Amino acid sequence: LVFKVTGRDQIKAALEHLHEREILNGYEYCIIPVEVNTREGECTTTKRINALTCIANADNEFYLGPTSVDEIGEQIANAKGCAGPNSDYLFKLADEIRNLFPDYSDQHLFELQASVMQRRQQQPLLC
């Protein structure tokens, strides 16, 4: 999912929000190539652009590294940040991807959602 932000004030506000939410929580900025589809009527075109994202690297205390869906699900099910439980973020992301892109199936995302839902049913999150 890519957001296009235009205008000096809007870009500044977006970067301030990212800094507070992501960078102060151990993430770092990274420029990555992404493919963007645009649709005009029946015609869809794809172009490659560079986008700013935030990633955790191996120096981040919460970085899990390459592992199984079950281990990632375990970490998400038990993690809570300043914006709330990580599972809430995961569930909202999966729902939005389904709503925005009904013909697309992000298998990894949906497997994570199922893994975390199963854990949450077995052991509710304690606040």
Q: Considering the chain, what percentage of its residues have pLDDT values greater than 90? A: 61
Q: What is the pLDDT of residues 52-108, one digit of tens each?
A: 999 988 888 888 889 999 999 999 999 887 778 999 999 999 999 999 999 989 999
pLDDT band at 124 (very low <50, low <70, confident <90, very high): low
In this structure, how many other beta carbons lie within 10 angstroms of the beta carbon of residue 84?
12
Gap between the Cα atoms of 12 and 113, Å rounded: 32
**Of the candidates 85, 97, 70, which has an alpha carbon nearest to the alpha carbon of residue 125?**
85
Which sign, positive or negative, has the C-alpha torsion 103, 107, 113, 115?
positive
Which residues, in sequence order, are CB contacts of 106 under 8 Å at separation 6+? 94, 97
Q: What is the pLDDT of residue 127?
A: 53
Gap between the Cα atoms of 91 and 11, Å rounded: 27
pTM of the model: 0.72
**Of the candidates 78, 83, 72, 84, which has an alpha carbon nearest to the alpha carbon of residue 114?**
72
**Of the candidates 57, 100, 52, 92, which has an alpha carbon nearest to the alpha carbon of residue 76?**
92
